């Protein structure tokens, strides 16, 4: 899953864009893109792909389009939630990632103290 936001409140630009992908029972890849104003329901578009390579091409093209948002709408998109598997592609394409959206490891819970 990838969730991007473009925020420029002074310019009234509050956009969200989310892509989630999964494989259905028949082995076909499905991508659902949801977009719209932050805080609103937005619109959703479904795309189907025969193989993972087709899905990967679609994701790459969609992210390249989001990267050009600064030129088109005057504010850039930033990743707010990212699956660990997609993070390298975002970095490669130059999409900024908020530090809180980068995958982190949680520290192990401390061992319980022995009771006497």
For residue range 23-61, what is the model confidence (pLDDT) as tens digits?
999 989 999 999 999 999 999 999 999 999 999 999 999
Confidence at residue 98, expressed as pLDDT on a 0 to 100 scale: 82
Distance CA 87, CA 8 (A): 24
Return all residues near 66 (Cβ < 8 A) that are at least 6 apart.
4, 17, 77, 95
Q: What is the pTM of this model?
A: 0.78
* Type and span of the H or E element at 87: helix 87-93
pLDDT at residue 49, as a whole number? 95
pLDDT for residue 106 is more than 50: no
* Chain mean pLDDT for the chain: 86
Confidence of residue 100 (pLDDT cuts 50, 70, 90): low
């Amino acid at each position: 899953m990838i969730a991007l936001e473009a925020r420029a409140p002074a310019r009234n630009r509050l956009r969200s864009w989310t892509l989630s992908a999964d494989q259905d029972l028949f082995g076909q890849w499905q991508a659902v893109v949801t977009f719209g104003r932050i805080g609103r329901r937005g619109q959703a578009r479904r795309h189907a792909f025969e193989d993972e390579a087709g899905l990967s091409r679609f994701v790459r093209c969609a992210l390249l389009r989001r990267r050009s948002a600064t030129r088109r709408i005057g504010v850039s998109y930033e990743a707010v939630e990212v699956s660990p598997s997609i993070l390298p592609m975002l970095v490669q394409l130059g999409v900024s990632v908020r530090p809180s959206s980068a995958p982190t490891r949680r520290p192990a819970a401390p061992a319980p103290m022995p009771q006497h």
